[in-house]
Structure 1
Amino acid sequence: MATGINVETIKRMADEVGHDTLTLLLTVFSDELEQYFRQLSDQPTAGQVREISHAIKSSAASFGADELALMAQECESRVRQGQEDWMHDHLPEFRQLVEGMAVEYKRLASLDNPINSLL
């Protein structure tokens, strides 16, 4: 069973777009997360972390990556409040979560029936 992915969100997405498009969307999302992971690994500025967090926040929620969406929201909020120490302390955790979700969504996209693997 996959962890950290809201099954109902993925089911709803599959119903709306169909299996082939779901697979494509999962791949695109995974690729985006991989890009964000690389950017977060290159000693980003607080402004870059805020921008990346903002971008991840809504797309992660749309793809059922609820924990990642919450972490991105928290990161964005803390940076906006000028809490750069918090950001630096939690950046490794955020980076790890982004990387883990990228791997998980890539795995899902490679399956014949991604929804069954989530059940």
Structure 2
Amino acid sequence: MTTSINASTIKRLAEEVGQDTVSLLLKVFSDELEQYLRQLSDQPSVSQVREISHAIKSSAASFGADDLAEMAQECESRMKQGQADWMQEHLPEFRQMVQGMALEYKQLASNDELINRLF
């Protein structure tokens, strides 16, 4: 599964907060995703997955992780409907996506050259 970072969103964020601050924010986002990944790996309940999905959905959209935001939206919606079977089937995919995006954002945050290429 390949996901990508929406460069337009990162550029807009840099315009709002300044390019120097973007690296810090990307690192914080990556750290948050790693924390959510740990929570998702501990046999979470439907309500825990719903809460985590809700939190990821908003942050992911703000940081240009559009595919992750979409998956989190779907997951949150399914959990609100109590679709535990759906969760069991799709939780590994969700975990993988969270893990992949955490790594991508960590790499991006630590490399100004990569950030500059987005612009």
- On whether the aligned pair clears a TM of 0.5, the verdict is yes
> Aligned AA for 2:82?
G
Which secondary structure state, in structure 2, belongs to the residue aligned with residue 56 of structure 1?
Answer: helix
* Structure 2 contact 9–64 (Cα < 8 Å) conserved: yes
Residue 118 of structure 1 deviates from its aligned partner by 3.8
Q: Which residue of 1 aligns with 2:36?
A: 36
Show the counterpart of 2:17. 17
TM-score when normalising by structure 1: 0.94
The percent identity for this pair of structures is 75
| Cα distance between partner residues in 2 of 1:68 and 1:32 | 14
Deviations 1:1-38 (A, max 9, x none): x9411110000011111122101000000000000000
Q: Give aligned pairs, total.
A: 118
Q: Give structure 1 stretches of 5+ with no counterpart.
A: none
Output the amino acid matched with 1:9: T
In structure 2, distance between residues paired with 1:10 and 1:3: 15
User: Is residue 2:48 matched to residue 1:58?
Assistant: no
Residue 34 of structure 1 aligns with an amino acid whose one-letter code is: E
Amino acid at match of 1:61: A
Deviation at 1:115, TM superposition (A): 3.0
Note closer, same or farther for the CA distance 1:32–1:94 as it changes in structure 2 (3 Å cut).
same
Q: TM-score, normalised by structure 2?
A: 0.94
Q: Classify 1:62/1:28 alpha carbon distance in 2 versus 1 (closer, same or farther; 3 Å).
A: same
1:104 aligns to 2:104 (yes or no): yes
Unpaired segments ≥5 residues, structure 2: none
Report the CA distance between 1:97 and its aligned residue.
0.2
- Structure-2 residue corresponding to 1:6: 6
Instruction: Report the counterpart of residue 84 of structure 2 in structure 1.
Output: 84
Query: Which residue matches 1:26?
Result: 26
